A and B are shown apart, each in its own frame.
Chain A
Amino acid sequence: MPIEIPKDKWPGKIRTVTLGATAAEGGTRAKTITVGGEGTLPFMHFETPTPNRPVIAIEIKDHKPDDWSPLLVEVWGEAMNDPAAWANAAEAAGADLIVLALSVTGLDGKPTKPEAAVAAVKAVLGATGLPLIIFGPGQAELDNELLVPVSEATKGERLALGICEDKNYRTIVATAMANGHLVTARTPMDVNLSKQLNILISDMGMSGDRIIMDPTTGALGYGIEYGYSVMERLRMAALQGDAMTQSPMIVTTGFESWKTKEAKVGQGVPVSWGDWKERAINWETLTTVALLESGAAIVVLRHPESVKRVKAAIEELMVAA
């Protein structure tokens, strides 16, 4: 019997957002990355075609971090000592774009200086042609101190600057607007707070196609379902026509999953946890896959093996029935 498949028809669409600028566009990127544009729930190609696949960003830092899992230190090796080398290694590992997360302190233990941050960003831009996202260290004053000079020094490159939050977004948004960049805007797993921050940023004059939403990511076992459901609700609100939820979403699954004991610790853990490396990779990969299902457009990962597996997953998810 021919079955009538119930198909959703939505009035709204996710906005299309492009990161990076080529020479023709005023930047130095070898290519740009475009995300968003979907007119239906994630991967429902049978309803409307999915114009842009989710993309994978690899997170690197301005210098070798002292608190990352030993498994990450092992796999990246020497490259961790130099952001340009690390960016090259990340590109070789299959990244679609790079997230450069600036550290709170330099190797000397003192707060990172603006000149050092700018130097790191320029080094990465010189080493790779991939589009770039810059995260500040996550402290309001320091974020502003570092991101403004970075933004000015890279005018025209169409970077994304983050992380804007309700406590600290004005300076970052202003400098992004002045220098042709985008922003990522994070709220703590709440649909209304997401809308609110997008409204505040839009009210400053930032165009909608330069905002990426970060709903906050919880790792597998440590709150993943809260983010997962908020993302499903945000996507549905967007498709129903709410313009303030129509930005593509970024999730920081690498940061969250590698923070867990399951990923960081190999000794003194239950036997039932199994092999450390495979467990850690699974933690990052499966957190990411679940959040792809709930609508992530940009996933930020740390381990090359997770990148491989997630890339293969995205490839399969983009196959229409």
Chain B
Amino acid sequence: MALSGIQIYKLLPRTNCKECGFPTCLAFAMKLAAKQAELSACPYVSEESKKQLAESSQPPIRLISVKVIGYEVRAGNETVMFRHEKTFFNRPGIFVKVKASEGEEAIKAKVGAADAFKVNYVGIDLIVDGFAVEADGADASPGSAQAFATAVKAARAATKRPLILVGKDPAALGAGLGTLSGENALLYAANSANWEAMTELAKQHHASLAVSAESLDALADLTEKVKGKGLEDIVLDLKSTKLGPHLALSTQVRRLALKSNFRPLGYPVITFAEGGDGRDSVVAAQAIAKYAGFIVLDRFAPELVYPLLVLRQNIYTDPQKPIQVQPAIYEINNPKPESPVLVTTNFSITYFSVANEVEGSGLPAWLVVCDAEGMSVLTAWAAGKFDAERIAKTIKGFNVADKVSKKRVVIPGHVAVLSGELEAELPDWEIRVGPREAVDLPAFMKQAL
């Protein structure tokens, strides 16, 4: 929460020396509040004031970056409780966890498989963001530390993506961090017993540090201690086991950051999605919708990761900017003049639903995409942005008639009511009504065209 002009004024020298270029300190303060001036213009502001002013202009939720050359996962810098208020900005990173006890070969295989995973959704390639390696050795022995170092090396050999190192024992985590260089990992986690050593470790290796405690009060105290030692790249572990309490804590933390500007909890949250019988998928889904910055899965399976990545895309889409494709004639499966003409709207999901079905069928078609301001067929029609006039204008505007030997156009089933009007707009065209759902297009094209 930024300071007001008056609050800033109280931190300035208040000598009205004019050396900043403004007639009074109050005038300068007002400009600073409006971000129309730089603090550096004042030669006399005290160090203490500089510190306070810098702090207050910090984002309510610190931006944490877990990175390695070529790859970065960012969380934080959120400004709203609800996506419809503006948008959610930084998609939570989805990490897959392996355990040191699994051994080098298994780790390399698992990480390699998840690293290679890629799935396409409306023209975007979705991937796993990184990996977590857990020091699950029972004791704080040198053997455990060595085993963990080996495990981290194995993971790093199988992926170039960011890493989270998970454990309680600073010695083991230190050994793991020691095998990495030139990257900013995330270290999990500092608790009331080990926080000093963990903070040193994080500082030494330029890592962010997750902090864990039994209550929000205890967590706030602990983050302040860590910060007091000079480490501010902090991530919060809320430690709840059940969905209900975890939702409450996540919501409270977000509110404290955004509404109360409560700095000790102004950090992104890490959530571990655990549990069999699909529980982990549900935990991860809640985390995606409700404020998580980093999500760690216990296992990798395409049928689990694909829907979660799609949900993340959906929740984190800017509500003001529905994803659209360019209006045009799209050629599917090398259409010839006798191939059918299909019409649809330029909402990405609509376009890809239709295009994928036709493409997958192997049947050639000319797919005419109309500008419907990024809305789906039904929505655009209801809003008056997809009507006979627009369709006709698009067909004429793209000179579809020049490409085809038969003037016949198929309109989506949901706008069957337009066929009469469209006949009037395109008198020398045959208007056909296609299916309502894209999935029924191939059958329709085979049987009815």
Contact = CB atoms under 8 A, between A and B. Distances in A.
A51 B28 CA distance: 54
A188 B382 contact: yes
Interface residues of A, number: 58
Contacts of A308: 277
A6 B260 contact: yes
B112 to A, nearest CB: 15
Contacts of A236: 82
Given A225-B315, A293-B289, A317-B247, A273 B306 contact: yes
A309 B376 contact: no
Output the residue of B255, B279, B306 with the most chain A CB within 10 A. Answer: B306
Interface in B205-222: 216-217, 220-221
Interface string B240-270: 1011110111011001100110101100000
Contact of A286 (B252, B256, B308, B317): B308
Given A308-B277, A317-B243, A272 B282 contact: no
Contacts of A273: 119, 302-303, 306
B248 A309 contact: no
B437 to A, nearest CB: 7
Interface string B293-317: 0000000011111111011001101
B290 interface: yes
B192 to A, nearest CB: 15
A279 B281 CA distance: 11
Given A6-B255, A232-B82, A274-B303, A319 B311 contact: no
Interface in B378-398: 378-379, 382
B120 interface: yes
Given A221-B310, A225-B314, A4 B282 contact: no
Interface string A88-120: 000000000000000000000000000000000
A301 to B, nearest CB: 14
A264 interface: yes
Contacts of A276: 303
A188 B243 CA distance: 30
B278 A309 contact: yes
A300 B307 CA distance: 20
Contact of A44 (B216, B240, B248): B248
A24 interface: no
Given A223-B349, A273-B306, A317 B244 contact: yes
Contact of A220 (B247, B260, B307): B307
Interface string A285-321: 1100110011000000000010011001100111111
Given A4-B260, A312-B279, A282 B303 contact: yes
A272 B117 contact: yes
Nearest to A316: B243
Interface in B333-354: 349, 353
A318 B134 CA distance: 31
Given A1-B221, A188-B382, A221-B349, A282 B243 contact: no
B256 A6 contact: yes
A32 interface: no
A239 B388 CA distance: 41
Nearest to B279: A312
A312 B356 CA distance: 35
Given A228-B289, A276-B303, 8 more contacts: A1-B264, A44-B251, A46-B252, A221-B307, A229-B83, A272-B119, A279-B302, A319-B243
Interface of A: 1-6, 43-46, 188-189, 220-225, 228-229, 232-233, 236, 259, 261-262, 264-265, 268, 270-276, 278-279, 281-283, 285-286, 289-290, 293-294, 305, 308-309, 312-313, 316-321
